[in-house]
Chain A
Amino acid sequence: MKLTLKIWRQPTADAPGKFETHNVTDANPEMTILELLDRLNNTLVSQGAEPVAFESDCREGICGTCGITVNGRPHGPAPNTTTCQQHVRGFKDGATLHLEPFRSAAYPVVKDLIVDRSALDRVIEAGGFVSVDAGTAPDADTVQIPHDVGETALNFAACIGCGACVAACPNGSGNLYTGAKLAHLSLLPYGQQERERRAHSMGAQADAEFGHCTLFGECARVCPAEIPITAVAALNHERLRGWAKRYWMPDDAKRTKPAHHGHEAE
């Protein structure tokens, strides 16, 4: 197969970028888009040219490292599929592929197709955890969790942290990502004590990092983990629930620890 690749090249975060055109004449339908880039880079390095920088790791669709924009779509044309699982067979012979980094104000470009997605981590750091120290947990069988509740929690916990949801959103919203974590943790019996605090601090951090949600639903269309769009509702529910509780809870429970990066309370 012959393919024309128009690839975004940007040497550093501050440098201006531009599209560069490369023709691959021996693409094979079995290849993934990333294997196509491997192929191109092999030629570029052999010629002494600078290879295209892009990230990937497990190449099994589970680690969340890869992620480029293919013809305007985060991850590529196949819905709910990571870039590493997008195959060349999905394109016509002679097609042109525009390969760009994930496009979002929340993700500064590091180099070429690599972006900085640390905004996602700052949301977790703000409270996306359960405060139980090693060795102090009770017997996991003493706290029973109904089968369906466990499975639903897993549906939300399945997020691979690739960040495509934010890149797909016209508003650059991180509500699917943040809501998935809140839904996951709020469904499980542990960490209920910090549920309101978590909703408040993670919500505030997400507001600081990302845009607001107006329910376009683009996020769920690209999400490789198929996080249900109801995660967005879970975020609003958890925040409202936490906000309502603050009116009658004792002072102790109301107190919210400011997020590490110092964002003000709502």
Chain B
Amino acid sequence: MTDLLLDDVRVVGSLVDGGVPDGDPATAWERRKASYRLVSQLNRRKFTVIVVGCGLAGAGCAAALGELGYNVECFTYHDTPRRAHGIAAQGGINSPRAKKVDNDSILRFVKDTVEGGDFRSREADCFRLGQESTRVIDHMNAIGAPFAREYGGQLATRSFGGVQVSRTYYTRGQTGQQLEIAAAQALWRQIAKDTVRLHTRHEMLDLIVTDGVVRGIVARDLVTGEIRPYTAHAVVLATGGYANVYGKSTNAMNSNATAAFRAHRRGAYFASPCFIQFHPTTLPISSPWQSKRMLMSESLRNDARIWVPKKNGDDRAPNDIPENERDYFLERRYPAFGNLVPRDVASRANALEIHDGHGVGPLHNGVYLDLRDAIARLGVGVIEERYGNLLHMYQEMTGDDPIQVPMRIGPGAHFSMGGLWTDFDAMSNLAGLFVGGEASWAYHGANRLGANSLLSACVDGWFTLPVTVPNYLESLLGTEPLALDDPAVTTTVNQVRAGVAQLLAIGGSRPADQFHNQLGDLLYDQCGVNRRGEELADAIDRIQKLRKEFNDDLRVTGTGAELNQELEKAGRVSDFVDLAELMCIDALDREESCGGHFRLEHQTPDGEAQRDDTRWCFVSVWERPGTPGPYIRHDEPLTFTAVPLEQRNYKTR
């Protein structure tokens, strides 16, 4: 083990202010909106806004700003805006529209979200999420998302983990895909009107900052390799999350942290980097060449039961294991929520059973997800109607038929609750840099509830950023974006070109993917579902060594002046390595357990996360030092008035 000390890698800074108006958090958003400055219709076209990423948050923000009359330059590394990883979200989007008589309300939504996040998010943010969700459903429905309907024609809903009401709106198992397509269509409408100019196959590689004010970006054309600057009055990053730091996650192959992390290198604070969600129902690794962790929807937990054999290393076929030799451990440990406990709780329970020798499958790295009882109760037809595409997908991947044999699942890295720090206006500490969707830290605290990610991306994109960005722009009326030949611009461009040249010049022997896998394995082992101080310290040490190996032995084939996927990967892995170090520092620093951050040293007698609200009821907001040296942790204190602080409890209600 290493002798690395926490004080070698971090120092404590000062307090940061989230800018939430004083008083009742339930009315904070309304009051804040009323105080925003406006830009008159005739002046809007004088402003240019760069939006990086066009998933649900980015496409929504770009389209809405275009509809309002601003000039928008929108960037994506994909070939078309419809591909962003929101498409893979299967289950649904939450909204406490509270039409039914199951006693749902905005307050109950806030309670579920704050509590689900284990009290490490802002209450006022969560109120905004609930309040704007109604307009999100109305809007996405109108622009083309064919939400499921009851036979009477009304919107249908279903239930998700951590919630006892039914507030999840959905389109079969492809809700994210349908929201994404609707948003992309709205974006094309603005592109046709020329309010938005779309730059496909362009990757942001740096942020242009002068005196703490963000003035533009530097992007690389992924086809020609050309690196050039784009300047604007404000920049919005909607570039997604960083779960791919784990090498194999449920994220898409190209999902990366580069845009966000390069903004961090330029001074943007990074909040709660160690808050990662492990999804309890992903396919376990079965071969070294498996390229990712395939996700099975949480919605399956509505009908399927999770179990393991009671006997350690019981290798009988699952259907040969009699009822009394099965342990339905979630139902046993959490009677009130059963199989529908939040993801962090389910993942930890799964990991514990696997760790204790109850794991199933050839590598003993999974648990069973079993539809048998639901099929007996409802019939095969109903189950196929509810989950047909998911079951088909499972069979395609594994060759097993889930109607006949229980599925095998296990926890896999899935979602990053942490991200660039933003204030209540969705602006980072750098003036003019706004962040939306998973790239931001907002809303989800230490654990995100299912079906809240599509919601947060849509709320940011369509209904938060389009009012907060203009509030900032108003003060810039009469100014022009920085000239492209300004020294600040050319300096940044030259630094990006030098960085690319450096990656190409290493001339080592190993492809970027190998470093990425090595990093991922290390993080799963030492900064995964369960974490321990000494292992985190060791992980920091090992990551620093990996950084040196990367700098010495990376091999990038080809040149910078062409389509070069190895070069793209090398740049992203390089950022992942540094982000992983920051994650481990954050995890080592935070001496408590909360949500997805489970420190084995801090648990209740019955093995639940033990928060320490006296010492840790704040957001860790990390500043990267300008010169080599320890990271600086600033604190944003959190206060709770609408949802009083309490120990989470999914055992009884």
Binding site for B on A (CB under 8 A): 11-12, 28, 30-32, 34-35, 38-39, 41-42, 44-46, 48-51, 53, 55-65, 81, 85, 87, 89, 110-111, 114, 116-118, 120-121, 124-126, 128-135, 137-141, 144-147, 149-151, 153-154, 157-158, 160-161, 184-185, 187-188, 190-191, 259-260
Contact = CB atoms under 8 A, between A and B. Distances in A.
Contact of B254 (A12, A57, A154): A57
A145 to B, nearest CB: 5
B292 interface: yes
B347 interface: no
B137 interface: yes
A137 B181 contact: no
B150 A134 contact: no
A63 B83 contact: yes
A129 B557 contact: no
Given A64-B83, A125-B188, A147-B150, A56 B144 contact: no
Given A154-B146, A154-B178, 5 more contacts: A35-B291, A46-B511, A59-B252, A130-B142, A157-B178
Interface in B162-212: 171-172, 174, 177-178, 181, 184-186, 188-189, 191-192, 200
Contact of B191 (A120, A125, A139): A125
B253 A56 contact: yes
B144 A184 contact: yes
A50 B150 CA distance: 54
Given A45-B511, A53-B563, A140 B192 contact: no
12 contacts: A30-B289, A45-B511, A46-B555, A55-B79, A57-B78, A63-B83, A65-B78, A125-B188, A130-B186, A137-B135, A146-B149, A188-B146
A150 B510 contact: no
B148 A137 contact: no
Given A57-B78, A128-B188, A134 B557 contact: no
Contacts of A149: 149
A124 B143 CA distance: 13
Interface in B523-551: none
Contacts of A89: 399
A32 B557 CA distance: 24
B436 interface: no
Interface of B: 60, 63-64, 67, 78-80, 82-83, 85, 87-88, 97, 99, 135, 137-139, 141-144, 146-155, 171-172, 174, 177-178, 181, 184-186, 188-189, 191-192, 200, 223, 252-254, 286-287, 289-292, 294-295, 393, 396-397, 399, 462-463, 466, 509-511, 513-514, 555, 557-558, 562-563, 565-566
A117 B79 CA distance: 8
Contacts, number: 213
Contact of A110 (B141, B191, B223, B566): B223
Given A51-B557, A59-B253, A62-B174, A116 B79 contact: yes
A214 B543 CA distance: 59
A104 B78 CA distance: 20
Contact of A138 (B142, B558, B563): B142
B139 A137 contact: yes
Contacts of B141: 137, 140, 190
B252 A129 contact: no
Contact of B177 (A34, A48, A116, A160): A160
Given A35-B290, A46-B555, A63-B87, A150 B146 contact: yes
Given A65-B78, A145-B149, A38 B513 contact: yes
A49 B509 CA distance: 11
A257 B237 CA distance: 33
Contacts of B142: 130, 132, 137-138, 140, 190
Nearest to A153: B146
Contact of A57 (B155, B200, B253, B290): B253
B557 A133 contact: no
A96 B551 CA distance: 38
A62 B63 contact: no
B144 A130 contact: yes
Contact of A121 (B80, B135, B151, B223): B80
A150 B148 contact: yes
A53 B565 contact: yes
Q: Which of B99, B142, B397 has most A Cβ within 10 Å? A: B142
A65 B138 CA distance: 29
Contacts of B177: 62, 158, 160
Contacts of B147: 140, 150
Q: Which of B143, B252, B290, B292 has most A Cβ within 10 Å? A: B143
Contacts of B200: 118
A219 B254 CA distance: 28
A42 B223 contact: no
A124 B185 contact: yes
A129 B184 CA distance: 9
A132 B83 contact: no
B80 A118 contact: yes
Contacts of A130: 142-144, 185-186
Contacts of B82: 64, 161
B64 A134 contact: yes
Contact of A126 (B83, B144, B171, B192): B192
B286 A30 contact: yes
A81 B147 CA distance: 25
Given A65-B83, A120-B80, A154 B252 contact: no
A57 B153 contact: no
B512 to A, nearest CB: 8
A67 to B, nearest CB: 11
A38 B569 CA distance: 13
A121 to B, nearest CB: 5
Q: Which of A42, A50, A57, A133 has most B Cβ within 10 Å? A: A57
A170 B473 CA distance: 52
Nearest to B511: A45
Nearest to A130: B143
B138 A114 contact: no
B67 to A, nearest CB: 5
B189 A131 contact: yes
A87 B398 CA distance: 10
Nearest to A52: B565
A134 B83 contact: no
Q: Which 5 A-B pairs have the closest CB atoms?
A: A144-B153, A137-B142, A129-B185, A45-B511, A140-B141
Nearest to A160: B177
A42 B569 CA distance: 12
B138 A138 contact: yes
Contacts of A125: 188, 191-192
B138 A140 contact: yes
Contacts of B135: 135, 137
